[in-house]
Amino acid sequence: MIDGGKAGLALVQYQEAASLFRENGLDVPAALKGLGESLKKESKKQEKPEEILRKLQARSREEGAFESGLESFSLIYELEKSRSERRQKPGYLVYLNLNGECPDSEVSRVGKSLKESLKKNLRKGDVFCNWSPRNYLAILINVPSGEIGKIMERIKNNVTRECAGTEMEFEHRRKEI
């Protein structure tokens, strides 16, 4: 985290870990204490706006949809909900589900295929997350309602090939946000 310019976040996580030691009546290990001191120094360093911008631009990613974690997805959903209300143009929350009985290894293999299909078939600016091993959510913005079915059909066609020989099926639903 420190090398990635996230010393402040690393410090917060260090403080949480150290408090767990103390709350349980344990001494914070010396190596961890030393890390805490260096994190405090690192997090106090001032960065120039140009340096921050350079770091942000270095993080640019490939084309296609943005995959986020569940917590970030929840925040993005709230943001897009507000934006949809303001611009009076709806976005869509799409729920994707893998149904059927099969071993976890099959769920994992088909899930990886679904994730790659989402990255490939959704646009840059769309967001998706893996809610659970069988469930995914996506936020689609500036997509005409009639196009969502076509997009989901492309994704389904990719995933269906991976489902061959399994009991799994792909389904999706959408909701205006």
> pLDDT digits over 63-110, tens only?
789 999 999 999 999 999 999 888 888 889 999 988 888 888 888 888
Q: How confident is the model at residue 26 (pLDDT cuts 50, 70, 90)?
A: confident
Return the pLDDT at 137. 95
Q: Residue type for 138, please?
A: A
For range 107-135, the mean pLDDT: 90
φ and ψ at residue 129, rounded to 5 degrees: -145, 155
- Report residue 7's pLDDT band, with 50, 70 and 90 as the boundaries: low
Angle between helical axes of 30-43 and 7-23 (0-180°, round to 10): 150
Strands 92-99 and 169-176: antiparallel
Averaged pLDDT, 48-70: 78
- Give which of 116, 126, 114, 123 is closest to 63, Cα–Cα: 123
**Superfamily of domain 66-176, CATH level 4:** Reverse transcriptase/Diguanylate cyclase domain (3.30.70.270)
Answer whether residue 161 shows pLDDT above 90. Answer: no
Q: Which residue has the higher pLDDT, 36 or 114?
A: 114
How high is the mean pLDDT of the chain? 83
Average pLDDT over every residue of 42-68: 75
Domain range annotation of the chain:
7-58, 66-176
> Residue 55's pLDDT is what?
73
What is the per-residue pLDDT for 17?
84
The DSSP bridge partners found for residue 96 are: 136, 172
Structure tokens at 71: 């917590």
CB 125 within 8 A of CB 166: no
pLDDT category at 1 given cuts 50, 70, 90 is: low
